Structure 1
Amino acid sequence: MAAPPRPGFPARIDLGSGAKAPARPAAGAPLAPAVSNATAPQAASMARDPIPARARMVQLLAAEGISDPQVLRAMGAVDRHRFVDSALVPQAYEDTALPIGLGQTISKPSVVARMAELLMQGGLRGPDGKLGRVLDIGTGCGYQAVVLAQLASEVYSIERLRDLHEKARANLRPLRIASVHLILGDGMAGFAKGAPYAGIIAAAGGEAVPDAWIEQLAYGGRLVAPIATAPGQQALVVIDRSRQGIQQTILEAVNFVPLKSGIA
């Protein structure tokens, strides 16, 4: 059965409505610079030293065990400072989670890289070495979606909080990445219109992985998400789906915001 047409940039998908896709940028064309939230002095300082700052971050990630060269390149290609508030720009390349409003955070670079590497180790890849279509649950400020866009042919990123959805749209709009589609919706339900997914990644954890996520995962695909292991404790879980069933592996402890349903 033919796959449904994929909406293009601008990256908005309101559930139940379509979007007309404008022309895509030429293959290999450089990304337009994102609009920074930094104040003038902070922006000027970061503009003088963005690449060395990112390079140091990538070196630390490699020293901590991230070994996939595609993941390291992706982490080094995205300006994290453009996704945080101006007061936090000096901390943008430190390995720390930072607040982005509404009680949410941008994940630590080491966590983003670790989850991306796990996804790459088990997800379905195309001839170009990239993952196929990926579902990103919990868009937040949009940083992880842009990292994933370096690794996957297409990214559907869903956010339940309207204000964060709009913030992510503002952050991504200048980049004009046609392969990233932002959705305002209930992440617990996934996004069936884009399924099946080669990979699913979540930035919020609940008591169990929702059935909808597993149903939307392609055979041969991989899901990486936090899950509650005890009151107040979470760990990363990796789920691989095959025609024979699913295989679940619990990994290291993590700390994510709780998974919630509905749109707010």
Structure 2
Amino acid sequence: MAPDTYKTRGLRNKLVKVLENKGITDLRVLQAIAKVPRHVFFENALLEHAYQDKAFPIGEGQTISQPYTVAFQSEKLEIKPKDKVLEIGTGSGYQACILVELGAIVYTIEYNKVLFERTKKFLPELGYKPYFFHGDGSKGLPAKAPFDKIIVTAGAPVLPDALTDQLAEGGILIIPIGDKDKQKMVRIRKKNGKLIQEDYDYFAFVPLLGEQGWNK
């Protein structure tokens, strides 16, 4: 594992400034970005890419999300300490680390078995210990529901009913919805049992696989 050095900490601080310039204002989110060593999710030879504001392949047809996307989704979730959060799409585990830094109790589910096994082993080595699950994230995690917050880190064709059903009263769900090329970021709040939707900009995510996502 690549060490965290004065140089990499400095690169993270530069990244934080980039995110601020792009409109991220939540101080706790920016502090989390400044703390989590994103470069350890990359091969050593790719260190120069780790703190650029862009997504990057991690194998298995998946990517580590663009830092702005991670910060944007995290900010819109309005995480409070001890919030019970469901993450759909563990991937590299970077987003889960940010959620843990924000004080959330994180349940994270990954469809791809290779990524699941890799990340389940790797994150505790970094000191991050969310609850890991392997399975169809489009179905959520009914055995552990309800959740205060739900974050989907893959593009869905529709809003899965299973996820809104598992959202607690007063909870927030953030999900990209659209086709396989681009998706609109959507935030759902559950108020008095009703779903209130807010739409944001377009993003590009890998497809959400599963029964209520995209089937292979």
TM-score normalised to structure 1 length: 0.76
- Which residue of 1 is the match for residue 86 of structure 2? 135
- Deviation string, structure 1 residues 144-185 (Cα, Å, up to 9, x no partner): 00001011330001001011011212321213334x111111
- Quickly say closer, same or farther: Cα 1:77–1:243, change in 2 above 3 A: same
Q: Whose RCO is larger (CA < 8 A, sep 6+)?
A: 1
- Which residue of 1 is the match for residue 114 of structure 2? 163
Question: Hey, what's the Cα distance between the residues in 2 that align with 1:153 and 1:47?
Answer: 27
Question: Hey, what's the Cα distance between the residues in 1 that align with 2:122 and 2:5?
Answer: 17
1:154 is aligned to 2:105: yes
User: Larger C-alpha radius of gyration, 1 or 2?
Assistant: 1
| Pairing of 1:50-129 with structure 2 (within 5 A) | 50-120=8-78, 125=80
- Deviation string, structure 1 residues 223-245 (Cα, Å, up to 9, x no partner): 001000x6743110100012240
Question: Hey, what's the Cα distance between the residues in 2 that align with 1:116 and 1:231?
Answer: 22
- Which residue of 1 is the match for residue 206 of structure 2? 257
Letter in 2 for 1:187: G
Q: Percent identity?
A: 38
- Quickly say closer, same or farther: Cα 1:86–1:166, change in 2 above 3 A: farther
**Secondary structure of the equivalent of 1:204?**
coil
- Which residue of 2 is the match for residue 217 of structure 1? 167
Cα distance, 1:131 vs. partner?
5.4
Question: Hey, what's the Cα distance between the residues in 1 that align with 2:113 and 2:53?
Answer: 27
Q: How many residues align structurally?
A: 213
**Secondary structure of the equivalent of 2:39?**
helix
- Which residue of 1 is the match for residue 194 of structure 2? 245
Gaps of 5+ in 1: 1-35, 37-42
**Secondary structure of the equivalent of 2:104?**
strand
- Which residue of 1 is the match for residue 139 of structure 2? 189
8 A Cα contact 1:240 1:247, kept in partner: yes
- Which residue of 1 is the match for residue 126 of structure 2? 175
Q: Give the alignment's Cα RMSD to 1 decimal.
A: 1.9
- Quickly say closer, same or farther: Cα 1:194–1:206, change in 2 above 3 A: same
TM-score normalised to structure 2 length: 0.92
Question: Hey, what's the Cα distance between the residues in 1 that align with 2:55 and 2:85?
Answer: 23
8 A Cα contact 1:145 1:155, kept in partner: yes
Question: Hey, what's the Cα distance between the residues in 2 that align with 1:196 and 1:162?
Answer: 25
Letter in 1 for 2:106: V
- Quickly say closer, same or farther: Cα 1:83–1:159, change in 2 above 3 A: same
8 A Cα contact 1:142 1:168, kept in partner: yes
Gaps of 5+ in 2: none
